[in-house]
A and B are shown apart, each in its own frame.
Chain A
C-alpha cells in the first residue's frame, strides 16, 4: 500500500506553538539544573580525593608517633 501524507488539524496553532516554546524553555532550565548538579558532584569527588590524601598523610604521622612510642630504640 502506498504511503500517503497525513495532515493533522490543529485548531489553535499559535497556542500549540506557545506551549511547545514553554516546554523548550523548561527543558533548558532542567538542563541547566542538571549541569549544576553534575558540577556539584565533581566538587564532591574532588573533596573526597582530598580527604583520601589527608587521611593517608595522617596515617603516616600516627604510625610514626606510634613507632616512636612503642619502639623508641629504633628511632
Chain B
C-alpha cells in the first residue's frame, strides 16, 4: 500500500510544527501607552542621531583647530630657534631662578608669567564654519528632522 500524500508524513509534519515558533496572542492592557512609548522611543533615537551629527561636527572642528595649533606652535618654535637665537650670543649662562631674582631685588613681576595679568578673553566666533558644514550635508539631517516631525505628528494623534 502506497501513501497518497508523501509530503504530509506525520513525522515530518510534527517536525515542522516543532521548528515553528508557537504563536501567542498577547493582551496589551493599554495599547495607547505602549504605542506612545514606542513612538517616543523612536523620537529619542532620532534626537540621539541628530546629537551624533552635532558631535561629529564638533570633533571635525576640533581636529582642524588642533592642526592650526600645531602649526602655530611650530611657527613660534621656528621664530625662537631660527630668528631670536641668531641675535643673542651663545653662552653658558643659566637663567636666574625666582629666589635669586628676589635676592637681587629685581622686579619678578615682569619676569614670571604667573604674576602677569591674564589676557583679555576674545569671544569665540565659530558659528560660520558650522553653518557651512551644515550647508554641505543637509540631506542626512533633513531626513532625520522629517522623521522626527512624522513621529511628533503621530504622537499628537495619540494624545
Contacts and interface: CB of A to CB of B under 8 A. Distances in A.
Contacts of A44: 55, 58-59, 62
Q: From DSSP, what is the main secondary structure of chain B's interface residues?
A: helix
B128 to A, nearest CB: 13
Contacts of B17: none
B65 A19 contact: no
Interface size class of B (residues with CB under 8 A): 35 or more
Contact of A37 (B44, B69, B93, B104): B69
Nearest to A57: B44
B111 interface: no
A23 B79 contact: yes
B147 interface: no
Interface of A: 3, 6, 8-12, 15-16, 19-20, 22-23, 26-37, 39-41, 43-44, 47-48, 50-51, 54-55, 57-58, 61-62, 64-65, 68-69, 72, 75
